[in-house]
């Protein structure tokens, strides 16, 4: 699996996401792009109105990685479909293992 969308930082990992708001359900749907510019594609049930899709993404990522919502932060792309999230306290190895199991 390509892991261009995951990067290790001093506080955890960053996760590049391509959001698809207005979907039937919130779920990981695959990989968008390739290599260093790859993004994890996530369909989001919430509409992109008044930050609802962002809040739904934060809740989904927190649940997926078994962490609190306060440990998930949007670092770039708040108003874009392409976003980068900081997942505090997550190791690169554990994030890769979890996402490999979810994207097979």
pLDDT digits (tens, 9 = 90+) for 17-50: 999 999 999 999 999 998 888 999 999 999 999 9
DSSP-derived letter for residue 66 is T
Q: Nearest to residue 31, comparing CAs of 18, 46, 48, 21?
A: 18
Domains and CATH numbers, the chain: 6-82 (3.30.1200.10)
pLDDT digits (tens, 9 = 90+) for 52-92: 999 999 999 999 999 999 999 999 999 999 999 999 999 99
pTM: 0.92
């Amino acid at each position: 699996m390509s892991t261009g969308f995951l990067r290790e930082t001093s506080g955890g990992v960053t996760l590049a996401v391509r959001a698809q708001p207005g979907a039937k359900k919130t779920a990981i749907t695959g990989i968008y792009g390739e290599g260093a510019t790859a993004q994890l594609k996530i369909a989001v049930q919430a509409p992109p109105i008044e930050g609802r899709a962002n809040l739904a993404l934060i809740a989904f990522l927190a649940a997926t990685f078994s962490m609190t919502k306060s440990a998930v932060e949007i670092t770039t792309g708040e108003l874009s479909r392409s976003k980068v999230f900081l997942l505090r306290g997550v190791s690169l190895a554990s994030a890769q293992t979890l996402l490999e199991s979810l994207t097979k």
